[in-house]
Amino acid sequence: MPRPFRFAVQSFSAASGTEWRERARRVEALGYSALHLADHVVGPGPAIAGSRHPIQELAAVPAMMAAADATRALKVGCRVFCIDYQHPAVLAKQAATIDLLSDGRLELGLGAGWLAAEYEALGIALDPPGVRIARLAETIRAFRALFTGEEVDVSGASLRLAGFAGAPKRPFPPLMVGGGGRRVLSLAAREADIVSLNFNNRSGVIGPDGVRSSTAEATAEKIGWIRAAAGARFPSLELEIGAYFTFVQVGAEKIAAGMGQALGLTPAEMLRHPHGLFGSVDAVCEELERRRAQYGISYVTVGDSALEAFAPVVARLAGK
* pLDDT digit string, tens, across residues 66-75: 999 999 999 9
- pLDDT-derived band at 52, boundaries 50, 70, 90: confident
Residue 12 inside a domain? The answer is yes
Start-to-end C-alpha separation, the chain? 10
pLDDT tens digit sequence for 297-309: 999 999 999 999 9
Is residue 192 domain-resident?
Answer: yes
Beta strand 160-165 with 151-155 is: antiparallel
Give the model's pLDDT for residue 257.
94
Percent of the chain beyond pLDDT 90? 90
Write the CA distances from 297 to 19, 179, 190, 237, 314, integer angstroms: 31, 15, 17, 10, 15
Q: Do the domain assignments include residue 216?
A: yes
CATH number of the domain enclosing 168? 3.20.20.30
Q: Dihedral of the CA atoms 16, 21, 27, 32 (nearest 10)?
A: 130
Residue 290: inside a domain? no
CA distance 240 to 149: 30
Residue 136 contacts by C-beta under 8 Å, 6 or more apart in sequence?
83, 110, 111, 112, 177, 184, 187
Confidence of residue 47 (pLDDT cuts 50, 70, 90): confident
Kindly tell me if the per-residue pLDDT of 187 is higher than 90.
yes
Q: What is the mean pLDDT of residues 184-188?
A: 97
Q: Is residue 284 part of a domain?
A: no
Read off the pTM: 0.96
Q: Which is it for the CA torsion 160, 165, 166, 171, positive or negative? A: positive
Domain count, the chain: 1
In-domain check, residue 260: no
CA distances from 138 to 37, 89, 154, 205 (A): 23, 12, 9, 26
Q: What is the pLDDT of residues 112-166, one digit of tens each?
A: 998 999 999 999 999 999 999 999 999 999 999 999 999 999 999 999 999 999 9
Specify if 265 maps to a domain: no
Question: pLDDT category, 206, cuts 50, 70, 90?
Answer: low
pLDDT band at 205 (very low <50, low <70, confident <90, very high): low
Q: In the structure, what pLDDT confidence band is assigned to residue 202 with cuts at 50, 70 and 90? A: low
pLDDT for the residue numbered 203: 60
Residue 197 covered by a domain: yes
Q: Which domain holds residue 63?
A: 6-242+298-317
User: CA–CA separation, 317 vs 244, rounded Å?
Assistant: 19
